[in-house]
Structure 1
Amino acid sequence: MKGLHLLLSFLWFNITICQSTVLIVDEDGQPLIGVSVYSRDQTFQTISDQQGVAHLPQGMSSSTILYFQFLGYKSQQLSLQELSDMDYRVQLMPGLQLEEVVIVGRAEESSRMTNQVHKVERDEILLLNQQTPADVLAASGQVFVQKSQMGGGSPILRGFEANKVLLVVDGVRMNNAIYRNGHLHNAITIDGSALDNVSVIFGPGSLKYGSDAIGGVMHFQTRVPRLSLGLDHSYSGMVYGRTSSANGERTFHADLEVRGAQFASWTSVTGSKYGDLKTGGNRSEEFPDFGKRFSYVERRNGSDIEVNNDDVNVQIGTAYEQLDLIQKLLYQKSEYEKLLLNLHYSTSSDVPRYDALIERSNGFPRWAEWNYGPQKRWMSSLSYTNTRKRSYSDLIHIIGAYQNILETRNNRRFMDDIRERQDEYVQVFSLTTDIEKSINQLDLQYGFEVNHNIINSEAEGINMSSGVDGLNILTRYPSGDNAMSSMAAYLAGNYNLSDRSKLLTGIRWTRTTLEFDYLNSDEISWPDNFYSGISSSNNALTWSLGVNNHFDNFRIQAMIATAFRSPNLDDMAKIRVNGIELTAPNPELEPEKTLNTDLTIGWSPTSRISWSNTIFFTELSDAIVRAPFSLPDGSTTFIDGPDTLTVVGNINAQKARVYGISSRLVAKISARLNLDATYNWTRGRILSNETSPLSHIPPSYGKIAVNYSSEDHKISIQWRYNLAKPLSEYGGSADNPEYATQEGTLTWNTLNLYHKWMINEHINIDVGLENIFDRHYRTFASGVSAPGRNLIITGRFLF
């Protein structure tokens, strides 16, 4: 009889744990709508409905931890056992949490980091309805984005850009051996419609991510298929169409999720067609013609002619198309083990490089055509997760990945029949292992990473009149065999000094090797060792030490850490024409190294107000900068057709210093209304000459947003602003002063309105109106002007 009683108790316990709903309420017991509920590994994600109810899958382990997060309320993390004890009723209390626990990066909690972290959630991504992931970052008010063309977007974190910041998608690093040090636009090859969230980790990330994470890490997490965790199969999906008036955008997206007890699938297709971008018509009285496109080049009857533009605000030479495909397959092998296959494919049409197309030489257009593309990116990864507790691990996460990238450049001078084409083929093989183990008050993380790049650089000239191809031109990178490899291991620990304080520290070792050589058929005569092969290797030991202190009304985070960036193939061996400059190879480059100090103070005087301020200071040694240089024969100029080019090269400068402030204020005005304001200020100097500004330092910028949320509507009014930056503060040619006014970057601001109307559970209508006053502006270092007044309309059908 006693055994029967125990059996019945066990069955009752499991039935209770498997309850499929949880009610989420506020401090007054009223339902909260739109609360994010997710598991740590994010295989389960949902939001509470109009009754405050979140639906949970059946069959979850009682030890599964769920996170409950809602803007303006303190987040909670509860196990299913705790939910059962609470009768599946969760009450969130108001208060803008000073130490918000969110999952960032490769499944790491922000509470175990001393870096400043900002996470853009899916709700915000859907509401703001941006065209590309780069636009998502810019709209956050926390990241500055440079644009050379409409089909691009180069994020800047704390004054670092391109290959000095790290792009990661679904745990796989995107940075490869040809990521350049100027402006890098690869973020747009990620499907913005598939994003679940974007984590921005500011400051040094070399401890966990290795080389390139000097300015920070941007981790783009696409959606993960969910299991039904029951006996029945289920499915859901979304179809939407979007149009934007500023560039005639036409985007179609469809996704389908199929859920089973052990298998789940998520399929996503997005196709976009963008027309030429129309910029704002309201210009500064001082520069009434700045940014106008008076003419453009057409090829008619085998000849180039300059054609007058009927509308000078339409930037002819910005249109392009893009297709993105994603397929994910999840297999839950056991309660503790799962496998996730992740396939990405992105391709584009030719993407015109607008900043080059508006260049002029001797009174005529310099280029008849200058296009990237098509740009193609393939990524396949297989990840394995094991949560079974062992003596050496509580969590094991392994990702093996293969990437295949094609970057193409096509350009032809005005009135010249020869089109030059450069193709860069990159293959990347990588394996990453992260392991976590908790021992009393100590949380350990350790792991290793290996990465191997194979690069082939090809080029040819094509005579457009005769059709003859195969003409000999310079390749962008060494024309022979090129490879870059790295291996690394790290150990990090978080020790709970008390309930309010944590000590965080870690160390990482990385070894990087680079090999390249040139062919004898090259247009330039190289030294003998360039033909026989050049190799370079370096070792880097980085460390981090930080502390988190969390008190009743304020929080203090402090960190001192090192970071590094090994010079890649682009740094050492690129041959590139840009404007009136030729970049020449420099095989003698050394790694860049930084010493970083961060201090974050968060203050919450009431449960409705949170104000966070971060002060950062970075000492950069052996900084790789562009400077006057010479070819191997000593020449400081190079003749390229009708142009005499000045030779420049990448060198290790003595030292540089970057410092700044980042501030964010969030205020809960009422149950449905909140204020979110950001401000960012950065300054950089080359220490050998305090009057020499460092490049890539944006002017001060930020945003002020007022957000409203109800059962059926979400509304956001946003004022985005950018202060001026005079030419005297530009850091040389990398900041593209030729695309600015005679005074530099002008002050600008825009007013933007976004509205999401949830008509019912199946139909949503999203409307946005950006740059309401149709102001003309061009962001710092950009070669294309920003969109003018832009009406965005999206219709979504969910099933």
Structure 2
Amino acid sequence: MKLILFLSILIISSLPVLAQPTDTLRTELLNQINVTAHRTQETALSTSASISSINSTTLKSQQGSTTPDALMGSTGVFVQKTTQGGGSPFVRGLTGNQTLTLIDGIRLNNSTFRYGPNQYLNTVDPWSLQRVEVLRGGGSVAYGTDALGGTIQLFTHQLSFSDSRQYTGLLRARVATSGMEKSLRAQAGMSHQRVALMAGLSLKNFGDLVGGDSTGRQSPSGYKDLAFDIKGKIYLTPRWNLTLAHQTVQQKHVPVFYKYQLDNYKINEFHPQNRSLSYLKLQGTHASKWIRNIAFTSSFQSTKEGRSSQRNGSSLLSQDEDKINTLGLTLNIHSEFTKNWTASSGIEVYQDWVNSKGNTVDLEKGSRTDKRGLYPNGSTNLNYGVYSLHQFISNKWKFDIGGRINGFRIKLTDEAIGKVSISPTAVVANAAIAYQASPRSNIYTSFHSGFRAPNIDDMGTLGIVDFRYELPAYGLKPEKSYNYELGYKLQTGGLHLNMALFQNYLNNLITRERVAGEQIDGVDVYRKENTEKAQIRGAEIEIDYLFQAHWKIFGAGTYTYGKSISNQEPLRRIPPLNGRLGIEYRPGNLFLRPELLWAYKQTRLSAGDKSDNRIPVGGTPGWTTVNLRMGYDWKVLSLQAMAQNLFNTDYRTHGSGINGAGRSLWVTVSAQF
């Protein structure tokens, strides 16, 4: 695999420029805009940060069945799948509650997000998205807790006004071989001088995932998904507009596949897995240099996670349900103090209310016993912060500096731990220096400090999680990260190059520590503690080379090395060396995109990896898959197809509980009016 990465870089960098590309491929690269790093629009070239960006064209051509699927193959992102109805992105070696996800700037993360892989990104409908950005190695100053590894920003469809009344419509259907997917999307929109509106409904029926080679059908892994989204924009005055939005996702009977395969379960599933988000955003402009742009957002998000489990040979059915309601209030002000000094500043407040309950049903006796839920019922979490990010430009130099003060108030009341109330605080900062020797290049160095405050999942969990039994903990401190980065970007002719080296130091990591000599129902007992120091370092490279008007070669590679300083062993679940290589042909309405995705073997295992039955003894084997994506757009109709895993490779991404899809065909037909 190292040879593949080396040869791909060598080939791409040595190709001669045969023509100056002038088609949409070059336009897409040159006009790429990022907003995640500093809460303000910047071109990809000028940003002093490593950002992976997936635009609407790429989302459409990738045919990701889920939002985690859409991120697979992005530079610096490695997606783990415990089951088909999950998908947890690793950003620079970290995942779960150590990576922050936002939807239109609103936190998806709440106070019950788990350490390690989780399934919550899969509760976002990819057909509702227009763009995805991944800020690697930063985000705590701009967006708060959890951004130790980075920040994933999901943007839904943007609305605009029109001079005359206009209507739009979309019908989309996708099917996959072996019954792996049958999906429908209906979408309608309207725009006028003062009002714009869009609504969509997605219905998805996922069958069991069929793996490659000798794996075959992985049953049970299929589930059903229903998603609805509506968004409206209202013109108030020439300077002010109001956006209102609602989205909801309902998933039924989502099996945790590896529990059936490896842990002797008759039933183990998420049912239901629901999420809804409603928000109101008031945006305005002003002539004052202090308040050039202002945005106020009020949001309400609700998640509901039900879990059912029953072991083979047992008559006991265990049922748990957690419902988390989150109220969010954010205010952001963009200032332009001078031509060369701009700033984004604001206030954020999020309040969580946690309801958790459980019961055990004896199916033979017909009896039911209520029990404590996974979390203390009635727990609350208040998260509030103030931040300010500034940018200074002097000739060819650019300086970024920012800071945030964040406070929390976490309350739990439970028979197992009594009354607990903690109020941790965190102060973080970032700084970057960039030098643009020409309008086509940018070399920068940056520092980001980050934090993750202990949450209700850390403090209040009681019960079986994955393959261990967890006890509540309290007195935990925030986790901290210190990320250093050196990067280089180049856009010249048809060559677009991004490279970065990074080093992330992690302190006060909250880890599960085994309670010596204790077991409950034959399961080892663990409790979370601030016990670990670690470091993660690595390198990333991404290249796009447009060697003719309609031809592009692309390649990327990511290397991540993680080490626990405290335990003197590899850090848990570190992704292996991985990357992609391909070529894209896009003449007008046609596109062809053969590509190769690969990952080297991962044999550097922590003690936790070795005890994880999802990871084979000795480590996860390396793999290579070859995919072919193609499509054609007519005036109204659009056809996309993906021939996946052409050589039927049997593989799974490191740490996953289910193998990837084998040789298969996925076809999407769209009619847009």
Structure 1 runs not aligned, ≥5 long? 1-26, 36-68, 76-99, 283-291, 293-312, 361-365, 520-525, 631-635
Q: Which residue in 2 is equivalent to 1:675? A: 553
- Of the three residues 116, 122, 129, the one matched with 1:188 is 122
The alpha carbon displacement at 1:241 in A equals 0.5
Contact (CA 8 Å) 2:551, 2:585: kept in 1 or not? yes
The alpha carbon displacement at 1:537 in A equals 1.0
- Of the three residues 201, 225, 239, the one matched with 1:322 is 225
Distance 1:596 1:141 in 2: 18
- Of the three residues 788, 792, 798, the one matched with 2:662 is 788
Distance 1:656 1:534 in 2: 29
The alpha carbon displacement at 1:379 in A equals 0.6
The alpha carbon displacement at 1:103 in A equals 3.8
Q: Which residue in 2 is equivalent to 1:485? A: 382
- Structure 1 runs, 4 residues or longer, greater than 6 Å off: 27-31
Alignment of 1:731-742 (within 5 A): 731-733=606-608, 737-742=612-617
The alpha carbon displacement at 1:392 in A equals 2.0
Distance 2:306 2:43 in 1: 38
- SS where residue 193 of structure 2 aligns? coil
The alpha carbon displacement at 1:672 in A equals 0.5
Q: Which residue in 1 is equivalent to 2:323? A: 425
- Of the three residues 600, 610, 628, the one matched with 2:496 is 610
Per-residue CA deviation, residues 684-704 of structure 1 (Å, 9 max, x unaligned), is: 1111343x1111311011101
Query: Cα 1:251–1:735, aligned 2, differ >3 Å: closer, same or farther?
Result: farther
Q: Which amino acid aligns with 1:427?
A: N
- SS where residue 669 of structure 1 aligns? strand
- SS where residue 741 of structure 1 aligns? coil
Q: Which residue in 2 is equivalent to 1:627? A: 513
- Of the three residues 498, 508, 512, the one matched with 2:408 is 512
Q: Which residue in 2 is equivalent to 1:638? A: 519
Distance 1:102 1:654 in 2: 34
The alpha carbon displacement at 1:248 in A equals 2.5
- Of the three residues 244, 254, 265, the one matched with 1:341 is 244
Query: Cα 1:735–1:768, aligned 2, differ >3 Å: closer, same or farther?
Result: farther
Q: Which residue in 2 is equivalent to 1:523? A: none
Per-residue CA deviation, residues 514-549 of structure 1 (Å, 9 max, x unaligned), is: 110114xxxxxx3xxx23x10111111101111121
The alpha carbon displacement at 1:572 in A equals 1.4
Contact (CA 8 Å) 2:584, 2:591: kept in 1 or not? yes
Q: Which amino acid aligns with 2:631?
A: K
- SS where residue 70 of structure 1 aligns? helix
The alpha carbon displacement at 1:652 in A equals 1.0
Q: Which residue in 2 is equivalent to 1:297? A: none
Contact (CA 8 Å) 2:161, 2:191: kept in 1 or not? yes
Distance 1:612 1:639 in 2: 50
Distance 2:364 2:217 in 1: 30
The alpha carbon displacement at 1:332 in A equals 1.1
- Of the three residues 626, 631, 654, the one matched with 1:756 is 631
Q: Which residue in 1 is equivalent to 2:213? A: 281
The alpha carbon displacement at 1:568 in A equals 0.3
Q: Which residue in 2 is equivalent to 1:568? A: 455
- SS where residue 570 of structure 2 aligns? coil
Distance 1:459 1:649 in 2: 21
Distance 2:454 2:525 in 1: 20
Contact (CA 8 Å) 1:182, 1:734: kept in 2 or not? no
Q: Which residue in 1 is equivalent to 2:28? A: 70
- SS where residue 234 of structure 2 aligns? strand
Farther off after superposition, 202-211 or 108-117: 108-117
Q: Which residue in 2 is equivalent to 1:597? A: 484
Q: Which residue in 2 is equivalent to 1:456? A: 355
- Of the three residues 68, 93, 102, the one matched with 1:159 is 93
Distance 2:252 2:602 in 1: 34
Q: Which residue in 1 is equivalent to 2:7? A: none
Alignment of 1:121-200 (within 5 A): 121-200=55-134
Distance 1:107 1:464 in 2: 57
- SS where residue 745 of structure 1 aligns? coil
Per-residue CA deviation, residues 547-597 of structure 1 (Å, 9 max, x unaligned), is: 121123642111012110001001111123146521111112111011110
Q: Which amino acid aligns with 1:700?
A: L
Contact (CA 8 Å) 1:337, 1:385: kept in 2 or not? yes
Query: Cα 1:603–1:328, aligned 2, differ >3 Å: closer, same or farther?
Result: closer
Larger radius of gyration: 1
Q: Relative contact order (alpha carbons < 8 A, sep ≥ 6): 1 or 2 greater?
A: 2
Q: Which residue in 2 is equivalent to 1:542? A: 428
Structure 2 runs not aligned, ≥5 long? 1-17
Question: Is 2:585 aligned against 1:699?
Answer: no
Aligned-residue RMSD, C-alpha: 2.0
- SS where residue 505 of structure 2 aligns? strand
Distance 1:542 1:328 in 2: 34
Q: Which residue in 2 is equivalent to 1:240? A: 172
Q: Which amino acid aligns with 1:508?
A: R
Contact (CA 8 Å) 1:420, 1:473: kept in 2 or not? no
Contact (CA 8 Å) 1:603, 1:612: kept in 2 or not? yes
Question: Is 2:399 aligned against 1:503?
Answer: yes
Q: Which residue in 1 is equivalent to 2:197? A: 265
Distance 1:617 1:765 in 2: 43
The alpha carbon displacement at 1:34 in A equals 7.4
Distance 1:483 1:780 in 2: 35
> Identity percentage over the alignment?
23
Question: Is 2:273 aligned against 1:395?
Answer: no
The alpha carbon displacement at 1:29 in A equals 11
